[in-house]
Structure 1
Amino acid sequence: MSSNQPIRRIAIVGTGVIGASWAALFLAKGLDVVATDPAPNAEARLREFVARAWPALTRLGLSAGASQSKLKFTTDLAEALTNADLVQENGPERIDFKQKLYGQLDELLPPDVIIASSSSGLTMSEIQKGAASHPERCVIGHPFNPPHLIPLTEIVGGAKTSEATIRRAVEFYTSIGQRTVRINKEMPGHVANRLQAALAREVYYLVDEGVISVADVDTALSWGPGLRWGIMGQVMLNHLGGGPGGIEHMLKQFSGPMTAWWKVLGSPTLTPELQKKLVDGLHAEAGSRTIESLEAERDEVLLGLIELRKQAETAATHTVAAE
């Protein structure tokens, strides 16, 4: 696969929440986007989403050539794929559906066009079985919701994905401002979702055991470790937690208590009773706030955090350059 062809035209296959958010991001980066989705009113919903997202994207900074007018829509898959440089696939999380779709994409696209899946849990080794002719150009490019704001993309190859495809995917997502992490071994749920699942398991266990309420466990996370995780990752925070001795001291001092906690972490079962406890607790916590107002609150704080992190990184870069 040649890496010389610039990626300027993106085909979005599937325009649900993730596909629409990807479309908004690509447009903000000055790319041409052709979207396709057979669902009724898909085009109207997509354009409404992009319009709502545009002020936030403008605040973060639009690239040269960014325009909502570069969004085209068609219900015809072949038409959407015409002259595409990359396909961002966002279909349902069903392996039979994915494999059939990848068979169609494989037949319709030139062999050097990357097919990237937003799949949050399926492995590319299984998905690419549908692309019999050119499975080497298929790769996972998994974002986090909403992709137009959260700049993380997990890159995972399948058994038949070429190194050139992975390298080109990393280069592309990095070029539009995404923080890419390459996952070297396929795992169900990839990495970031597995981390979330591990935390959710303990949250649900603590609620199920009556240790803490839903509202209080959310407070404990968002105003405690969650604040730190918005700045640095777990291992780097461990380094700071060791004081002047760094991570070496932290591991020496706290590995005993920490591993003792591991042994008593819970493994809850999502029984109807636990689900009701979570649902009731959530609605008590949310009160009269609607999903739309909660999303707006999340996005406003998220935008502020992203801006702060950019400022900190710029300052750090200037400091290093001056030394």
Structure 2
Amino acid sequence: MKQLSVIGTGVIGNGWIARALAQGVHVVAFDPDPSAPERTRAFVDNAWASLSAHGLAPGARPDNLRFASSLEDAVQEADLIQENVPERLALKREILAALDRCADPSVLIGSSTSGFKPSELQTECTRAPGRVIVAHPFNPVYLLPLVELVGGNATEAHHIERGRALYQRLAMRPLVVRKEIEGHLADRLMEALWREALHLVNDGVATTEEIDAAVVYGCGLRWSLMGTFLTFHLAGGDAGMRHMLEQFGPALKLPWTKLEAPELTNELIERVVQGCEHQAAGRSIAELDRRRDDFLVELLGLVQKYWPEAERLEGRI
């Protein structure tokens, strides 16, 4: 892949730009905001130290970036188009339809949407709707390798296979989602934990800091290597998951979970906001970003060291 075209340069769009540049791919971006070029270059400059520590591909340069004057200009030489406009369905449909009209029909268009199903996004695309797929990354996009690929009603298998190859060229680990569902896979899992966390804060059971500590020093350490199911497989001892389910399965019927999110009252909002500000301890978002990135670079190195089967799993996910 020689050129990635990025439409919309917020946090996610800029993350795609930084990742592509670090992989030696040229980027053409479009954003109607006049301040977008300045913001993007500042973003890339801030991320480059972490990307350099993680490892740059041959030819990687932060200045392999050009801002286009229009959508048409942005996609003329594209090998892959990544859409990142705000999460409003009508707006996404409008932009994707315009991209479908002006981009070569053979060029795949990925949407970074975290919630919408691809069939909802394809409805106003008349030229080659099947090439419009969900390609949902995770923040920070320039470091986290997972991208969820989801096809819609008009999408054929070859579109997904092309997407898998293109995103692997960006050093991503594509996960093909078998069925369309709102929120895809990872966000649904994160939102389940988020709902329970809000209930615990709302009910006065724990502070935001205590809940984060429970994840950071407990389950989060295991999840970063083994995920959910393999972690529970080990909890069953020598008999594995079968014994775990026989022993602990009945407890799933207990009313532990709240299932629905609590009402977001002003009181709950203040508890969450004040808790997060206490945890930040006066550090700016930029400082916290750098601390997170430094940690992720080291953690990714450990994951790659202790999860060699990831290379084998690429063929499945």
Q: Compute the TM-score of the two structures, normalised by the length of structure 1.
A: 0.92
CA distance in 1, matches of 2:155, 2:310: 37
Q: Deviations over 1:226-253 (max 9, x none)?
A: 1111111100101111111111111111
Matched, 1:235 2:229: yes
Cα deviation for residue 189 of structure 1 reads 1.2
Map of 1:152-191 to 2, 5 A cutoff? 152-191=146-185
**Contact conserved, 1:205 with 1:266, CA < 8 A, in 2?**
no
C-alpha RMSD over aligned residues: 1.7
Which letter does structure 2 place at the counterpart of 1:172? L
Q: 2:64 aligns with which of 41, 65, 70?
A: 70
Q: Deviations over 1:237-291 (max 9, x none)?
A: 0111111111111111111123325466564111122111111222222222222
Matched, 1:306 2:300: yes
Cα deviation for residue 204 of structure 1 reads 0.5
CA distance in 2, matches of 1:105, 1:46: 21
State the secondary structure of the residue aligned to 1:87.
strand
Which letter does structure 2 place at the counterpart of 1:109? A
Q: 1:8 aligns with which of 2, 5, 11?
A: 2
Instruction: Give the corresponding residue for 2:198.
Output: 204
Map of 1:12-51 to 2, 5 A cutoff? 12-51=6-45
Q: Which moved more, 1:60-69 or 1:79-88?
A: 60-69
CA distance in 1, matches of 2:220, 2:104: 44
**Contact conserved, 2:134 with 2:150, CA < 8 A, in 1?**
yes
State the secondary structure of the residue aligned to 1:10.
strand
Instruction: Give the corresponding residue for 2:130.
Output: 136
CA distance in 1, matches of 2:247, 2:309: 33
Which 5+ residue runs of structure 2 have no aligned equivalent?
312-317
Cα deviation for residue 51 of structure 1 reads 1.6
Q: Deviations over 1:167-216 (max 9, x none)?
A: 11012212332122111111111111111110010000011111112211
Instruction: Give the corresponding residue for 1:109.
Output: 103
CA distance in 1, matches of 2:248, 2:290: 39
Instruction: Give the corresponding residue for 1:321.
Output: none
**Contact conserved, 1:88 with 1:118, CA < 8 A, in 2?**
yes
CA distance in 1, matches of 2:136, 2:248: 34
State the secondary structure of the residue aligned to 2:90.
helix
Q: Compute the TM-score of the two structures, normalised by the length of structure 2.
A: 0.93
CA distance in 2, matches of 1:100, 1:265: 35
Q: Deviations over 1:282-303 (max 9, x none)?
A: 2222222222222222111111
Instruction: Give the corresponding residue for 1:79.
Output: 73
Which letter does structure 2 place at the counterpart of 1:140? V
Q: Deviations over 1:130-163 (max 9, x none)?
A: 2112101111110000110111100011111121
CA distance in 1, matches of 2:129, 2:213: 45
Cα deviation for residue 315 of structure 1 reads 9.7
Q: Structure 1 pair 221/316, CA: closer, same or farther in 2 (3 Å)? A: closer
Which 5+ residue runs of structure 1 have no aligned equivalent?
1-6, 318-323
Q: Structure 1 pair 206/113, CA: closer, same or farther in 2 (3 Å)? A: same
Q: Structure 1 pair 160/307, CA: closer, same or farther in 2 (3 Å)? A: same
Q: Structure 1 pair 96/254, CA: closer, same or farther in 2 (3 Å)? A: same
Runs of 4+ in 1 over 6 A off after TM superposition: none
CA distance in 2, matches of 1:316, 1:36: 34
Instruction: Give the corresponding residue for 1:55.
Output: 49
**Contact conserved, 1:9 with 1:33, CA < 8 A, in 2?**
yes
Cα deviation for residue 125 of structure 1 reads 0.7
CA distance in 2, matches of 1:30, 1:94: 32
Which letter does structure 1 place at the counterpart of 2:200? L
Q: Structure 1 pair 69/280, CA: closer, same or farther in 2 (3 Å)? A: closer
CA distance in 2, matches of 1:315, 1:235: 16
**Contact conserved, 2:224 with 2:303, CA < 8 A, in 1?**
no
Matched, 1:246 2:240: yes
